[in-house]
Structure 1
């Protein structure tokens, strides 16, 4: 799957690089950075707030094409691979010991990692020569989802590790992204964005992702 992803990005950039020769108002480039993701709304089971999703760090990388509509306004479609998701936390689980009728509070935690192909299409408005605002729709396709258990008190008690949840998850994601950016030079920019999902996945969750990274124009 990773080889296919690299091939898609390569073809995407080469195709648009050839088109650049015929259009002086278009540039292409690469981008990469880190993300800080989770799910919304707050995940509560039966009114118990000790069960929730927390944010986790991930990364992203990919390519983009930037079309200059005017001196102040540009359109930038992108093709990105991102590793994102959330931490699942269940705190204060009460376990009873039948031998002495006592109980113990334990915590269960896991990392949910989603390998996602993302296609943002953002409009950029330059407030001044170097500073710009941006926003637009973002489409996502989740190519793989894995849950890694990081704290398993049940394994310590029973000796049998807890099996990660395995279900037929929703693969399509859709939402809006918006942010700000700053041109450090003609080729290098730094930008930060926030993405929030508009559609509910797996009947319970919506994506919530902060991004921070660099862009390099070829």
Structure 2
């Protein structure tokens, strides 16, 4: 909770740097997220949604600072497939697993306006885990016909993951009008998403104790300034 207040405090503190009145807006778009492959070698990217609010405070004619508060769906998916022949029958077994990590993120982007419409941006992003769930779908196909499909309901695994995430974003954007624009950004994670157990409570964590896994996200979306 203290980290959340810290992130919001940084957002509020940007008012002090503004040279002119800041503008406010909404933004939303698509996340293509993945997890670094230390212990997740067979993981693939997963699509998700992000959306929230932002404030753009000009620091000069070419520079501005833009803090945001977003709801962001991250995670990854894994597909494993096994094919073989048993008693003359071709068996195709497929497992689809999806890890859904939802965060409240607070990016603080420093923007450079290369032209009146086009800008570059970079800055830190602070994330606070809201939920973590895993879902599995197991499918068995015999001689081309599906004989069994088992879907496990979403399992809450939030206790296995760190509540805080930090990364750095690098992106660009183009404003079609003073109010409407498009933005693309890549956010590279710095912190390990796994919660480590020091053994103080008498238990041992089995969640990739020797690995460090980080969120990585490509975002593209639209923004609207009031």
TM bin, normalised by shorter chain, reads 0.7 to 0.9
More moved, 70-79 vs 196-205: 196-205
| CA displacement, residues 152-184 of structure 1 (integer Å, 9 cap, x when unaligned) | 449x88997668774522221111111110011
1:78 pairs, out of 57, 68, 75, with: 68
Mapped partners of 2:160, 2:53: distance in 1: 30
1:198 pairs, out of 190, 194, 198, with: 190
| CA displacement, residues 44-71 of structure 1 (integer Å, 9 cap, x when unaligned) | 5xxxxxx611112111110011110011
The SS at the match of 1:210 is strand
Mapped partners of 2:60, 2:133: distance in 1: 44
What is the correspondence of 1:122-137 to structure 2 with a 5 Å cutoff?
Answer: 122-137=109-124
1:116 pairs, out of 103, 124, 132, with: 103
The SS at the match of 1:70 is coil
Structure-2 residue corresponding to 1:214: 222
Q: Does 1:57 align with 2:65?
A: no
What is the correspondence of 1:122-161 to structure 2 with a 5 Å cutoff?
Answer: 122-153=109-140
Mapped partners of 2:88, 2:166: distance in 1: 50
8 Å contact from structure 2 (residues 83, 90) kept in 1 = no
Structure-1 residue corresponding to 2:29: 33
Structure-1 residue corresponding to 2:164: 172
Return the offset for 1:185.
0.5
Q: Could you say what the CA RMSD is over the residues aligned between the two structures, in angstroms?
A: 3.3
**Number of residue equivalences:** 193
Structure 1 unaligned spans of 5+: 1-11, 45-50
Distance 1:107 1:159, change over 3 A: closer
Mapped partners of 1:138, 1:207: distance in 2: 12
More moved, 103-112 vs 128-137: 103-112
Structure 2 unaligned spans of 5+: 1-7, 195-210
The SS at the match of 2:160 is coil
Structure-2 residue corresponding to 1:5: none
Mapped partners of 2:33, 2:149: distance in 1: 32
8 Å contact from structure 2 (residues 31, 217) kept in 1 = yes
8 Å contact from structure 1 (residues 42, 52) kept in 2 = no
TM-score (norm 1): 0.75
